[in-house]
Amino acid sequence: MKSLKKITTVLIVALLGFAFMAFVFPQEQKKGGSWDIPAKYKKMENTYAGDKSLLKIGKMMYSKHCKSCHGSSGMGDGSKAAQLETFAGDFTSEEFKTQVDGILYFKSIIGRDEMPNFEKKISDDEDQWAVIMYIKTLD
Amino acid sequence: MKKKLILALAMLFSFGLVIAQDDEGKKQKKDKPIRPMFESGILIDGQTSVIPIKNTLEMHIQHRFGVIKDNGASDFFGIYAPSANTRMGLNYSLRNNLMIGYGITRKNMYNDFQVKWKFLQQTRSGSMPVNLAVYGNMAIDGRNKSVYGDDYTFANRLSYFGQVIVGRKFNGWFSMELNASYTHYNAVKSDEVNVKGYEHDIIGVGGHMRFKFSPQSSILIMYTAPIFIEGMAENQEVMNTWYSNLGIAYEVATSTHAFQIFVTTANGIIPQDIYMYNTSKWTETEIRFGFNITRLWNF
């Protein structure tokens, strides 16, 4: 009987401990580290650049595939963003916009870790570039 | 009405053929297929011409509640009615235009095996103006032997459904499909053979429409109608009461899901059951809530 009391006390203390830990550890998401991008992607060029009609397609694709994490305006504040361990990025920032198309392609379509691969979900290269062209317009 | 439907179907088919002939002999650069006209391989109770890309596993959860007006608020408008029907199924795309699948339905414990082949693909340039697909399935009625009486054979459990689907994505917000089908049941109830009983076969026509009003949301409409041709009847007195099936859905699609929430008429889920045994009439508001969930995994 005495040992049961002890176990109960230990369990209560452990539970309270876990609850307090939630306040101790920072809840902020980590920023994604630097990307290791293969040379062939760095050199990759958008063969559809200049085709403004693709922006509408890009917006459709973005809404369907990207918005839930990256947010409507690309600030990384979508409805699922809070569940991510890594910040989803701010597409409106200057830092983002200075990246060349090939790098954006690798980050958006090939992905890594929590950023999924979209080569099959968005299988057509025209649609892939349409998304990249659209996210570059976000400000 | 039925004649008009058949005429419309014939015109759409012939339109596709004429264009195909015009293009014959011309050397063309490889044209891209049009972006998918629907978000799922199913649209309420019907099959669309959509097949996910090669090596995609597609899971369907399809549910139909009870008739809304039968018990009103007492079973929360059919949602808690005991007559609900469910199908769970898996499809796999062997090629970009070929899919196979299997599913089990609560009603009659149908086990269905299906195949869909899209042999013409609408192109972005318009060189091919329509999608043309064929869909077929074989279902095994999984109920106890006792349902079949004394002269039971396994073949009595089988039913077949074949369909031709022709569709066109007119623009980003409007797509439409028409279909024609043939249903066959190996065993049907009969009071007196060839005199009074149920028919083994029925022809059907139908259509699907999508009005896409935002990047992720659409309104879907589905209609199917069995067509009974008296000259083809086996019985002098036909016992079937064939009713058409109408459904209207709201669809939300994400990267890997499509959710369809709708009102529809039929309690059945597999197409041959709907064409042959739908006993609800939408004209008398015998409608029910239902939903379809599609989940995709790419490999």
Quote ipTM for the complex: 0.76
B23 pLDDT above the threshold of 60: no
Residue B59 to residue B44: CA distance in whole angstroms: 15
* CA atoms lying within 13 Å on the CB side of residue A95: 4
The H-assigned helical ranges of chain B are 2-23, 68-71, 271-277
Single-letter amino acid code for the residue at B207: G
Report the SS3 class of residue B85: strand
**What burial class does residue A32 get, using C-beta atoms within 10 Å of its C-beta: 0-12 exposed, 13-18 middle, 19+ buried?**
middle
Partners of residue B216 in chain A, C-beta under 8 Å: 63-64
Which residues, at least 6 apart from A71, have a Cβ–Cβ distance to it below 8 Å? A77, A78, A81, A88
To 10 degrees, the CA torsion angle through B170, B171, B173, B174?
0
Long-range CB contact pairs, B8-11, < 8 A, 24+? B8/B178, B9/B166, B9/B178, B9/B180, B9/B205
- Alpha carbon of B201: minimum distance to chain A alpha carbons (Å): 40
What's phi and psi for B6, nearest 5 deg? Answer: -65, -40
Please give the Cα distance from B96 to B133 (Å, whole number).
12
User: Tokens 């596709």 — which residue?
Assistant: B16
Structure confidence by residue, pLDDT tens digits, A35-51: 888 889 888 899 998 89
- Reply yes or no on whether the pLDDT at B12 is more than 60: no
Chain A contact for B53 (CB, 8 A cutoff): yes
Using CA atoms, how far apart are residues A91 and A69, in angstroms rounded to an integer?
12
Using CA atoms, how far apart are residues B160 and B156, in angstroms rounded to an integer?
12
Closest partner residue to B32 among A59, A64, A124, by Cβ? A124
Taking CA–CA distances from A65, the nearest residue in chain B reads B255
Structure tokens at B80: 């808690």
CA-based radius of gyration for chain A: 21
pLDDT higher than 90, residue B116: yes
The alpha carbon dihedral of A64, A67, A68, A72 has a sign of negative
**Would you list the DSSP string of B33-64?**
BPPPSSSSSEETTEE-S--PPTTEEEEEEEEE
CB contact under 8 A, B56 and A120: yes
Q: Strand B196-197 relative to strand B237-238: parallel, antiparallel, unpaired?
A: parallel
pLDDT band of B30, cuts 50, 70, 90:
low
pLDDT classification of A85: cutoffs 50, 70, 90? confident
AA identity, residue B69 = K
Q: Give the DSSP letter of residue A30.
A: B
pLDDT > 70 fraction of chain B, expressed in percent and rounded = 90
Tokens 């935002």 -> residue: B214
With an 8 Å Cβ cutoff, are A68 and B215 in contact? no
> What pLDDT was estimated at residue B166?
98
Distance CA B175, CA B160 (A): 28
Q: How far apart are CA A7 and CA B224, in angstroms?
A: 65
User: How many Å apart are CA B245 and CA B241, to the nearest integer?
Assistant: 13
Q: Which two tokens stand for residue A60?
A: 């459709």
Cα-only R_g, chain B:
20
Spatial distance between the Cα atoms of B247 and B224, rounded to a whole number of angstroms = 9
Q: What share of chain B is helix, strand, coil (3-state, %, to 5)?
A: 20, 45, 35
Size of interface A-B (CB pairs under 8 A): 30
In chain A, residues with a C-beta closer than 8 Å to the C-beta of B53 are 120, 123
What is the average pLDDT score of chain B?
Answer: 90
Q: Cα distance from A63 to chain B (closest Cα, Å)? A: 6
DSSP tag of B29: P
State phi, psi for B32 to the nearest 5 degrees.
-85, 145
pLDDT of res. A42 = 86
pLDDT tens-digit series, residues B65-106 = 999 999 999 999 999 999 899 999 999 999 999 999 999 999
Which residues from chain A sit within 8 angstroms of residue B35, using beta carbons?
Answer: 57, 124, 127
Q: B91 is written with which tokens? A: 């499809």
| Per-residue pLDDT reduced to its tens digit, B245-273 | 999 999 999 989 999 999 999 999 999 99
Q: Strand ranges (DSSP E) for B170-287?
A: 174-185, 190-192, 196-197, 201-212, 217-227, 237-238, 245-253, 257-264
Contact (CB<8Å) B32/A126: yes
Under 8 Å between Cβ of A4 and A65: no
Cross-chain Cβ contact B216/A126 below 8 Å: no
